[in-house]
Chain A
Amino acid sequence: MKRIPFALVTAALVACAGSAFAAEPAEGLARAEDHLKNDRPAEAITELEALADMGHVDAAIAFDRGLAYARRVQKGHEPDGDLGRAVLGFEEARGLTTSAEVRAACDAALTQLRSESAKRRSRGGEPPDVEEGLSLGRSVVHLLPETAWFWASVLLSLTFTIGLFARRRANARGETSQLALVLGIASLPLCLATTASGLAARAERRELREGIVLRAGVRPFDAQHIVKSGAESLPEGAKVRIVGDDGDSFVFRRGAIEGTLPKDSVGEIVRRR
């Protein structure tokens, strides 16, 4: 009989702990936003980084984290890397959110942050190109969301099938169907193109690893971890493609530049996989 109260107490404790853990992201975010409203970005950063360390992933947490770092940059005399971390937060929020409004806000903030990074590089006599343009293929894939590519392929597939049936029916009657011809010629290539784009968008979401350069003036290393001869420094807040891990370093690619960077110089963008 003594076991029953003990079990009840244990169950109550577990339930409380579970609810506290569940409520923690919301409470932590609320505290961080309170700090931000009262112009205390450093305290907000502490709260939001703690949430991230506990593994909480949410577009709002990433957005506010980017905002907190940006506010500290705005105040001036920020520690090294704040500009890059602000870019990282907004990039993560942009990838995680499903709201077009939030995505637009992230784009606007990213434009400002990268302009500031470019301005700083320009002052130091370095090339101010912070943002690398997308390749033609990725630009095409980014024209529509992945889901839109999917439904477009399904619709075009159905259209193509209707064309096939129309042709079959016309052949049975010994006639030529213009409808079948038009549907077949138009829908099949479009269907293949949309399917390829959709699968590419899916592969990019699931496989692509990107990171943000967190420090100003960092230079790429070669495989022997020696600074590459003649390599220009990477801009703070620049996006790089992570192609592998090499111990404490990321192997990265940015345009024609390839090399390795220490992991504390690059923040990997968390995505929905």
Chain B
Amino acid sequence: MSRAQVVRALVAALAALVVLVFPRLVWADELRASVDANVIEVGQTVSLRLEGTTTSGDVGSVEPGPTPGFRVIGRSVMPTRMVSIVNGVRTDRSGVQATFTLLAERTGTFSLGPCSASFGGRIVRSGRAEVRVVARGQAPRRPEPQDPFAGLFGRRPAPSPHSNPFDFLDEPQAPPEPTVDPKLALPAPRGTTAFLHATVDKHAAVVGEQVTFSVYLYVEGSSREPQIGDVHEASAPAFLRKSLLENDNEAKHLGLAKVGDQIYEVKLVRRVALFPLKAGALPIAGMTLRIFRNASQRQRPESIRESETLEVVVSEPPTAGKIPGTSLGDVGDFTLRAEVAPREIPRGGAVAVNLTVEGYGNLPNRLPLPTVKGAEWLEPEVQEKLGAGPDDRYGGSRTFRYVVRLREPGAFSLGSVAFPYYSARHKKYETARADLGFVTVTNDGKAPPPADEKEQMLPGLPPPRGGLEGTTMETAKPISDKGGAWLLVFASPLAFVALSLGARAKDRFVATRRDRETSPDAELARRIAVADAAVKKGEPLAAVRAALTVLEQGALVKLGIAIRGASEGEKRTKLTEAGLDEADVTAWLEAFASAEARRYAPEPPTADEAREEVARAKALVNKAKKRKPAREDDA
């Protein structure tokens, strides 16, 4: 790199550094911010003024920047342009003067800004401005504007040590209080923090005349912006309702107002055109909403705010001067315009007739059409453009686009369309009229359409019935009319259920019976019966054998022990373990021993011995109390 190149590079770097560090030297942009008061009270306003000039292009957006502790309630931005020619050199400078009105919401010292403005696409920022907000009544009094003529027409004020006799040449000082709109002032607030206030523009009207209903939200200037929810519209059932605001969901800031001694910010939340539908004292209920700062306050009853209930006395328009054909409710100021095209058509062709009603008030939904022989008016296409007009009057235009078919050749006058109405403004009946003019239907040489080609209303109606049908209300009832008939639907499944239950009951009965026959108790009873039968039949040996089996089965059933085939010692042990006392154990063992001895004796027992054995066995078994059943392995 040569020396010259190095020098050029250093010069370029230095220029870039200058541009980066001191941009104002290059662009000559200035932006200054100032406030009209440094100490104010809560609820008062302060004006943040912004002045800027630039030579680098047009001024774009201007923003106040951060405004902690304040709410921006007004802004005024005015671009300026200055051209100066010095020594033949022309210099163009653009500028901006902006004023932001800020409402102090809480006490403290706050730094406003930096404000920003866009000059030729570049964002330029101002310095900050500090404002101290003190409690109500603690701010120093702001200087009153000097009146140079006060001494001429009244008591001259005492000279202040700081007063300057030439102060009147200076710019007037800022007003000490925020600008309030006296039209929005109220004698006393209707609620704490915020409240609703409703008005109507008139309390007496005629049926169909517009009554403008407005609802305002007043928010205490010293409080933070509250949240709003649960909005319920004002009910006005006896009115046709049309909104005059573009968006009912946004409250429109109107300004500040004095309510009692306090400053309130006023917002317009509803503006509605109401058209009375009938005569009488018609009520307009209050609009309600909830004012809250957090979700916990939302459900409290004290969060509800309601506007006033209003009443409008509505009467019918006067009968004097009423034009025939005027419908009740057709009130307003209207004009009627007609466009007919084309004016010449072939036979059977159609013309387009556009009828436009314009004006303010309750625009008609239909128009009386002229009757022209050979002309058929088809159904219209309706287009409308309605909304709020000047002075909050509801209106606009409604266009009826008709197609008229003409069948006969010749020159026809389509007549005129007249729409009579009552003008509440002029207190008289008027007529909106439009002449439709003439239309020529040329004969194209074709024969006129036959009568049967004309569209007939309700073609193809059926012939009469030709006699009673006999199906009266009573005789023609279907079978399903009786509630009992529907039981047929459930009959077969119910029959299945009944049969299933019967079969199951039968099975259970048989099983129970079989169990009962094979049980140990049944076996004991059977053996006792066998023993008794043997005694009766005079079979002593069989009776003694049966007595033995009775004892064995009785021990099993009653004592829960199996002693068949056991030795005497084992029998004694088992009987003792079964809980029998010594005497009973001995009695059982003696009965066993006696019966076995008689059974196996060489001489058969006698009948009396057999009866004695059977009786003893039965007595022992009957005497024994029933215990737990014997185990299977014991058995």
* A contact residues vs B (CB 8 Å cutoff): 25-26, 29-30, 32-33, 36-37, 57-61, 63-64, 67, 70-71, 73-74, 76, 96-99, 102, 105, 108-109, 112-113, 116, 119, 122-126, 128, 145-147, 149-150, 153-154, 157-158, 160-161, 164-165, 168, 191, 195, 198-199, 201-202, 205-206, 222, 224, 226-230, 270-273
CB distance from A249 to the nearest CB of B (A): 16
Dominant secondary structure of chain A at its interface with chain B: helix
The answer to whether A29 and B468 touch across the interface, beta carbons within 8 angstroms, is yes
7 smallest CB-CB distances across A and B, nearest first, come from A122-B379, A161-B492, A150-B480, A60-B465, A125-B382, A33-B464, A123-B379
Residue of A nearest to B495 (CB): A161
Cross-interface CB contact of A64 among B465, B489, B500, cutoff 8 Å: B465
CB distance from B241 to the nearest CB of A (A): 6
* B contact residues vs A (CB 8 Å cutoff): 236-241, 277-278, 365-366, 377-380, 382, 400, 456-462, 464-473, 476-481, 485-486, 488-493, 495-496, 500
Cross-interface CB contact of A109 among B462, B471, B488, cutoff 8 Å: B462
Could you tell me the distance between the alpha carbons of A143 and B240 in the complex, rounded to whole angstroms?
Answer: 43
The answer to whether B469 and A97 touch across the interface, beta carbons within 8 angstroms, is yes
The answer to whether A73 and B458 touch across the interface, beta carbons within 8 angstroms, is yes
Known: A161-B492, A198-B480. A226 touches B237 (CB 8 A): yes
The answer to whether A157 and B462 touch across the interface, beta carbons within 8 angstroms, is no
Known: A58-B468, A226-B237. A123 touches B492 (CB 8 A): no
Could you tell me the distance between the alpha carbons of A22 and B485 in the complex, rounded to whole angstroms?
Answer: 32
A-B contact count (CB 8 A): 157
Residue of B nearest to A76 (CB): B457
Could you tell me the distance between the alpha carbons of A98 and B469 in the complex, rounded to whole angstroms?
Answer: 9
Report chain B residues within 8 Å CB of A26.
467-468
The answer to whether A108 and B490 touch across the interface, beta carbons within 8 angstroms, is no
The answer to whether B486 and A195 touch across the interface, beta carbons within 8 angstroms, is yes
Report chain B residues within 8 Å CB of A37.
464
The answer to whether A157 and B471 touch across the interface, beta carbons within 8 angstroms, is no
Residue of A nearest to B241 (CB): A229
The answer to whether B496 and A147 touch across the interface, beta carbons within 8 angstroms, is no
Could you tell me the distance between the alpha carbons of A197 and B238 in the complex, rounded to whole angstroms?
Answer: 43
The answer to whether B466 and A67 touch across the interface, beta carbons within 8 angstroms, is no
6 contacts between A and B (CB under 8 A): A32-B464, A58-B468, A70-B461, A109-B461, A161-B495, A199-B486
Interface centre among B236, B400, B493 (most CB of A within 10 A): B493
Cross-interface CB contact of A99 among B277, B365, B469, B488, cutoff 8 Å: B469
Known: A58-B469, A116-B457. A157 touches B492 (CB 8 A): yes
Known: A157-B492, A228-B237. A125 touches B471 (CB 8 A): no
Known: A67-B461, A126-B365. A270 touches B240 (CB 8 A): no
CB distance from B605 to the nearest CB of A (A): 55
The answer to whether B486 and A36 touch across the interface, beta carbons within 8 angstroms, is no
Known: A74-B458, A123-B379, A229-B241. A58 touches B470 (CB 8 A): yes
Could you tell me the distance between the alpha carbons of A13 and B50 in the complex, rounded to whole angstroms?
Answer: 111
The answer to whether A150 and B479 touch across the interface, beta carbons within 8 angstroms, is yes
The answer to whether B465 and A168 touch across the interface, beta carbons within 8 angstroms, is no
Report chain B residues within 8 Å CB of A63.
462, 464-465
Report chain A residues within 8 Å CB of B486.
150, 153, 195, 198-199
CB distance from B545 to the nearest CB of A (A): 46
The answer to whether B472 and A124 touch across the interface, beta carbons within 8 angstroms, is no
Could you tell me the distance between the alpha carbons of A60 and B400 in the complex, rounded to whole angstroms?
Answer: 43
The answer to whether B473 and A73 touch across the interface, beta carbons within 8 angstroms, is no
